[in-house]
Chain A
C-alpha cells in the first residue's frame, strides 16, 4: 500500500486528568496497524528542575504530585534515594507502614486498571464492580492518612503518621472482604471463553523485545522476565514478609490482566503480615531525625503498580539537591507499544495500548481521521465500540 493512502489514527495527546499524557499516531492499512509513532511531553512540568529549587523536605511533597494514581510511588523512591545517600536505616515500624501504604496503592491502582480494561472490551459490569471495590481501598487510605490520594505519608527518615492500634481491625476487615471480590474477578477472567478468545495472542510483547526495551513491572513479568524490586533489592518491610511474584510467559493482554489480579492477592498477603507486625511494635516510633544532607549521590527505587520507579539524587551539601533524576515506569513501558501494537487490528489497539496501564484517561480525545479528505472517521468512543463489537461477535460464535 502506498504511503499516501495510509490513514493515521491519532490517540491523544492529553487530558489534565492523565498523569502521563501521550500521543499515539497509529498508521493503519485498512483495519491493521502497520506503524505507530509515540509522542510524549504534553504535560512536561519540569519537576526535575523544580526539585533543585526546593529543600529536601519539600521535594517529598512535590514528587507526590507527579502521578495522580500511584501517588505514593515517587515519594517512596525519593526517600529511598535520600536515605541511600545518607546511609541511614528507618525504624521498623516506619518500614511496615511504608509497605502497607505501597501495597494499598497497588490494590486500588490495579482495580482501576481492571475496570478500564473491562470497559474497553465491553465488560462494563467488570468496570462497575471493580471500581466499587476500589472505593473500599481508597476509604481505608483516607482513614489512615486523611486523603484518598496524595497521602503525604512519607518523610525522609520515616513516615509522618502512625497507624494506631484501633485502626488495624478496620484495615484487616477491608482486606478480608476484598478477597472474595478478587476470586470473582479471577473467575471472570480465567473461566470465560470469550475473554480467552478476545485477549489471548493480542498485543504480544516477546521476551526479546521486553529485554531490549527494558520494560518493568507487570509488563515485563507477563513476558517472562522475573523482576520485582521488592524481591530483588528489598527495601522498607519487603525483606521481612513472605510473598510471591507471579510471572507468566506469553506477553499478551490476557497475561497482563491475569498478572495484575494475582498480584493483588500478594498485596493483601503483605498488608496482613505488616499489620500483624505492627501490633507487636511499640507505637509512636516512626522516624529518625535527619537534619543535614551531606555531599554525595543516592539512588532509590520502588516497585510501583506499573513497575520500577527510579530516583537519583545528587547533593552538594546544601539544603537543595543539585540534580534530581526521576524515571517513571511508563517511560520504559509505553515505548514498547511500538512493537506490541503493530500488526494488530484497530479494534485491538485500545486494549493493547491500555495493557501497559499508562493511566489512560484521555479517552474522549481520540479521533480517526482520513488523511485524504480530512474527515473524522472514528472517535475514541467509536473505537471502544469497535472493540466491544468484536467481543460480542466472539460471544456469538462460541
Chain B
C-alpha cells in the first residue's frame, strides 16, 4: 500500500474526533459532533483530496446516525464520518456547499428518515412522489 493517509486525517481533525475505530487497515470509522460536520467534510474533501461516496442514514434506538463515507483513492482507504442526531429534532448542516454530490443523498435522507438539512438549496422529494403523505418516513423504525 502507498502512503497511509490516516495519520494526516487524525492530525487535521484533531480534537474534533469523538471516537476513532479502525475496523481494518482499509476501513475507518470516526465519530464527530454534528456541529463540526461541514468543517470535517471540508478538511477531508478540500484539503486531503478525499472523494465523497455517499451517506447512509440509520435509525438507531436512541438516535439517528448518519455515516458520511469518504474514499481516498490513492490508497483505497475509506473513512466514514459518523454523526449522531437526537430523535426529537433531527437536523444537521447541509454539505451541498462543499460538494454538489451531497444534493441528492441529502434529499433522500430527508424524505426517507425525516432528517432536516439546514442550508440545502432544493430540499424536495427525490425518490418518493411529490404527494407522499407528510410525516411518513419509510426508513424509520416503527
Chain A interface residues (CB < 8 Å from chain B): 40-41, 44, 46, 48-49, 84, 87, 209, 211-214, 226-227, 229, 232-234, 296-299, 301, 308, 310, 312, 314, 322-323, 325, 327, 331-332, 335
A23 to B100, CA, bound (A): 19
**Which residues from chain B contact A44 at a C-beta distance below 8 Å?**
127-128
Cβ contact within 8 Å between B69 and A233? no
What are 8 A-B residue pairs whose CB atoms fall within 8 Å in the complex?
A40-B104, A298-B27, A308-B53, A308-B71, A314-B58, A325-B54, A327-B105, A335-B101
**Within residues 1 to 44 of chain B, which ones have a CB less than 8 A from any CB in chain A?**
23-24, 26-27, 29
Main secondary structure of the interface of A (DSSP, over half): mixed
A232 to B129, CA, bound (A): 38
**Which residues from chain B contact A323 at a C-beta distance below 8 Å?**
56, 58
A123 to B75, CA, bound (A): 41
Cβ contact within 8 Å between A212 and B78? no
Cβ contact within 8 Å between A233 and B24? no
**Which residues from chain B contact A312 at a C-beta distance below 8 Å?**
56, 67, 69
A396 to B24, CA, bound (A): 60
**Which residues from chain B contact A213 at a C-beta distance below 8 Å?**
99-101
Q: Residue-by-residue, is B77-106 near A (CB-CB < 8 Å gives 1, otherwise 0)? A: 110100000000000000000011101110
A234 to B77, CA, bound (A): 11
Q: Residue-by-residue, is B122-142 near A (CB-CB < 8 Å gives 1, otherwise 0)? A: 000111110000000011000
What's the interface size class on B, roughly?
20 to 34
Residue of B29, B53, B99 touching A297 (CB-CB under 8 A): B29
Residue of A298, A299, A332 touching B69 (CB-CB under 8 A): A299
Given contacts A232-B75, A299-B69, A310-B69, contact A227 B53 (CB under 8 A): no
Residue of B24, B105, B126 touching A87 (CB-CB under 8 A): B24
**Which residues from chain A contact B125 at a C-beta distance below 8 Å?**
41
Residue of A46, A297, A301 touching B138 (CB-CB under 8 A): A46
Cβ contact within 8 Å between B27 and A335? no
A17 CB → nearest B CB, Å: 20
Cβ contact within 8 Å between A49 and B69? no
B139 CB → nearest A CB, Å: 6
Cβ contact within 8 Å between B24 and A331? no
A227 to B72, CA, bound (A): 10
What is the chain A residue whose CB lies nearest that of B72?
Answer: A232
Cβ contact within 8 Å between A214 and B127? no
Residue of B52, B67, B138 touching A49 (CB-CB under 8 A): B138
Is the CB of B76 closer than 8 A to any CB of chain A?
yes
